Amino acid sequence: MCVPSIPVSRRYFLALAVTPACPAGFGLWEPRLVATPPGIVLTLDACMGGIDRRILDLLLARRIPATLFVTARWLRGNTETLALLRANPGQFDLQNHGARHIPAVLGTTRPYGIRPAGTKEALAAEVLGGAEAIISTGAPRPLWYRGATALYSPDALTVIAGLGFRVAGFSVNADQGATLPADAVSRRLAAAKPGDVVIAHINQPGSAAGAGVAAGIAALADGGARFVTLAAAEARGEVRPLPCA
């Protein structure tokens, strides 16, 4: 996956035979991901709902690159924000968070009580529907997918790979689904190291966690951290799975 002379589609075919993943909650699995230092990859999920301007305005003001994992559902309700993002294509990278925000789990396990895709067909519709929604905005075809809840059944990982998407793990969970207090989120983010791939949420303007995301990113930037989008890091062959803890 690190050989730039190979066409992207072929590269992904080769890279996706297996997605390494680690045991996580609910008896499900999660891939872990890191980048080559010094860049920190901010991946911000936009599951549904709105946009957290505390975070977006900071990113815009300080020209901090970030990757947004968006759903078709979120895109439909946030056309003004989408225009802002698309006006800064080098800064913001749109990747695939699915069509309707359904967990990428085959079978009946419900992570956090959320009904999963259940079948291969439903999962394919979720993954491809998310990608098509991004493409229809005029943005480049997404190459990365992150399922709702970021937990996966092993057979779901195989289905996603077969559809040509890499699964976006992470190495720092900054906000635990936007559930943590601002101070805790800020501390987690500020402790991120060069090469970390951070997950947080940018779709919950009313959450305390969002204030912590903004404060943590600002602290990192103040400390001289460098940021890179997932697409840019991937294009340079600077993204790799992180072994299980």
Spell out, one character per residue from 131 to 170, where the chain touches Zn ion: x when CB under 5 A holds, - when not. -----------------x----------------------
Q: Does 52 bind Zn ion (CB under 5 A)?
A: no
Q: How far is the CB of 54 from Zn ion (least distance, A)?
A: 18
| Residue among 131 and 148 whose Cβ is closer to Zn ion | 148
Could you tell me which stretch among 43-51, 80-88, 178-186, 222-230 binds Zn ion (CB under 5 A)?
A: 43-51
Distance between CA atoms of residues 118 and 10, nearest Å: 29
Q: How far is the CB of 25 from Zn ion (least distance, A)?
A: 15
**Interface with Zn ion (CB under 5 A), residue from 45, 175, 234, 238:** 45
| Residue among 30 and 45 whose Cβ is closer to Zn ion | 45
Q: How far is the CB of 36 from Zn ion (least distance, A)?
A: 26
Could you tell me which stretch among 39-47, 112-120, 131-139, 151-159 binds Zn ion (CB under 5 A)?
A: 39-47
Which token pair is 174?
């900054």
Distance between CA atoms of residues 11 and 234, nearest Å: 11
Cis peptide bond prior to 38, omega within 30° of 0: yes
Nearest to residue 206, comparing CAs of 52, 19, 63, 41? 52
| Residue among 207 and 218 whose Cβ is closer to Zn ion | 207
Q: Does 47 bind Zn ion (CB under 5 A)?
A: yes
Q: How far is the CB of 69 from Zn ion (least distance, A)?
A: 7
Rg of the chain over all Cα atoms, to the nearest angstrom:
16
User: Can you give the three-state secondary structure of 94-153, one letter per residue?
Assistant: EEECCCCCCCECECCCCHHHCCCCECHHHHHHHHHHHHHHHHHCCCCCCCEECCHHHCEC
Phi/psi-derived region of residue 237, left when phi > 0, alpha when psi is between -120 and 50, beta in every other case: left
| Residue among 148 and 192 whose Cβ is closer to Zn ion | 148
Q: How far is the CB of 8 from Zn ion (least distance, A)?
A: 25
Could you tell me which stretch among 41-49, 158-166, 191-199, 208-216 binds Zn ion (CB under 5 A)?
A: 41-49
Beta strands 66-70 and 39-46, pairing class? parallel
Nearest to residue 103, comparing CAs of 60, 54, 47, 50? 47
Across the chain, which distance is largest between two alpha carbons, in Å? 46
| Residue among 101 and 188 whose Cβ is closer to Zn ion | 101
Q: How far is the CB of 187 from Zn ion (least distance, A)?
A: 22
| Residue among 11 and 201 whose Cβ is closer to Zn ion | 201
Distance between CA atoms of residues 161 and 219, nearest Å: 36
Residues that bind Zn ion (CB under 5 A): 45, 47, 148
